[in-house]
Amino acid sequence: MTVKTTGAAAGGPAAGARPAGAAQGPRPARWLGPQRRTLWFWVFVGPFALGLGLFTYVPLAWSVYLSFFDAHNTVSPTDFVGAGNYTSMLTDPAFLSSLGTFLLFTAFIVPATYVLSLSLALMVNRLRFAQAFFRSVFFLPTACSYVVASLIWKLSLFNGVRFGLANTVLGWFGADQTAWLSTTDPPWYWLVIVTVRLWLQAGFYMILFLAGLQRISPQLYEAAAVDGARPGWQVFRHLTFPQLRATSVAVVLLLVINSFQAFDEFYNLLSDSRGYPPYARPPLVYLYYTALGRDQNLGLGSAGAVILALIIAVATVVQARWFGLGRKED
């Protein structure tokens, strides 16, 4: 009986097999990536990247462009002035005074926030019960609006009349009423400004310190106890605080940057018909009135914004180098 052999059995190409030189079928586009992960990455990230570019980087670039023009009441100027706006801003006593306000505010708020947030973190970290509750309670003010908190401080706590909480407490001890937001000496308005910022941001930095405390190995404390270290200040000074060095550097950097960005509390607490007292107008408030005030000098305001951004960048780099941020031992 004769048996027919197929091409495969005879050593020829298998049935249905493509010749070696035949063209392959359509492949997915290279930009899709394996398992189309690149496609889904851009599906989810693309809208946010587009919004970031349109509403952040484009306005920043346009602000730099405006800073070289005489832009009064317009965002499409034609009168090129070069570095004239920068020269005017750097020689303006009001702008230099606003930088002095920043330095004064930083001298108050940075150490106060650092000490308070670290103290809260140490206390919460030592709790053996309800730790999550107290952590949430101290962090909750972070979710409050700066505008709302400033108005509460101004109208309820330090409103300068006998019905205000601060004056009520002082009255219990026989003290006179105090005009907390008065533009005359003594400058009690600094107490109002610093306390509202302290209440708003201490909880956030407490969380950062808590994360740093929980990264410290318990074995280090056991070894310190074996070596005879007394719990309390001695352990904190020689063990806990050095282990928080990287966290402390990050906290100080963020505090200084946030001090540069102070606006809401100054504007809402002190902006009234009486004007601003000395050393009570930070850079952002000054730039706000320069660019959006009566003159609406957008070119001069943009130049001030660029100068302020450069100062923040330089201050951040100097602090990072000074504290050794990013070293291998951190």
Q: What is the mean pLDDT of residues 270-275?
A: 59
12-21, 205-214, 283-292, 305-314: segment of lowest average pLDDT: 12-21
Q: Which residues pair with 297 in a beta bridge?
A: 72
Q: Can you count the helices (H) and strands (E) in the chain?
A: 15, 0
Statement: residue 23 has pLDDT above 60:
no
Statement: residue 236 has pLDDT above 70:
yes
Q: What is the mean pLDDT of residues 176-198?
A: 82
Give the tens place of pLDDT for each residue, 76-122: 787 888 888 899 889 888 888 888 888 888 988 999 999 999 999 99
Give the tens place of pLDDT for each residue, 276-306: 665 667 888 888 888 887 778 888 889 999 9
Residue 86 confidence (pLDDT): 92
Strand, coil or helix: 80: strand
Give the tens place of pLDDT for each residue, 40-88: 788 888 899 999 999 989 988 988 998 898 888 777 787 888 888 899 8
Q: What is the rounded distance in angstroms from the CA atom of residue 287 to the CA atom of residue 293? A: 9
Q: From residue 150, give the alpha-carbon distance in Å to each of 195, 227, 304.
A: 10, 50, 26
Q: What is the rounded distance in angstroms from the CA atom of residue 181 to the CA atom of residue 281? A: 14
Statement: residue 17 has pLDDT above 70:
no
Q: Hey, how many other C-beta atoms are within 10 angstroms of the C-beta on 308?
A: 22
11-20, 144-153, 308-317: segment of lowest average pLDDT: 11-20
Q: What is the mean pLDDT of residues 196-201?
A: 93
H or E stretch covering 217: none
Statement: residue 268 has pLDDT above 90:
no
Architecture of domain 96-323: Orthogonal Bundle (1.10)
Which residue has tokens 């908190």? 149
Contact 154, 192 (CB under 8 A): yes
Q: What is the rounded distance in angstroms from the CA atom of residue 285 to the CA atom of residue 281? A: 6
Residue 130 confidence (pLDDT): 84
Q: What is the rounded distance in angstroms from the CA atom of residue 171 to the CA atom of residue 188? A: 17
Contact 209, 247 (CB under 8 A): yes
pTM: 0.77
Q: Hey, how many other C-beta atoms are within 10 angstroms of the C-beta on 82?
A: 9
Q: From residue 327, give the alpha-carbon distance in Å to each of 103, 214, 321, 322.
A: 28, 21, 10, 11
SS3 annotation, 253-291? HHHHHHHHCCCHHHHHHHCCCCCCCCCCCCHHHHHHHHH
pLDDT tier for residue 6 given thresholds of 50, 70 and 90? very low
DSSP class of residue 173 equals T
The string of DSSP letters for 6-45 reads PTTTTTSPPTTPPPTTSPPPPPPPGGG-GGGHHHHHHHHH
pLDDT tier for residue 327 given thresholds of 50, 70 and 90? low
Q: Hey, how many other C-beta atoms are within 10 angstroms of the C-beta on 232?
A: 8
* Dihedral angle of Cα 214, 219, 220, 225, to the nearest 10 degrees: 120
Strand, coil or helix: 69: strand
Residue 323 confidence (pLDDT): 74
Which residue has tokens 């959006």? 292
pLDDT tier for residue 25 given thresholds of 50, 70 and 90? very low
Segments making up each domain of the chain, as ranges: 96-323
Q: What is the mean pLDDT of residues 211-231?
A: 83
Q: What percent of the chain has pLDDT over 90?
A: 18
The region, left, alpha or beta by phi > 0 then psi within -120 to 50, assigned to residue 74 is beta
Q: Closest by alpha carbon to 302, among 94, 84, 68, 102?
A: 68
Give the tens place of pLDDT for each residue, 162-185: 678 888 888 888 777 788 877 666
Q: What percent of the chain has pLDDT over 70?
A: 82
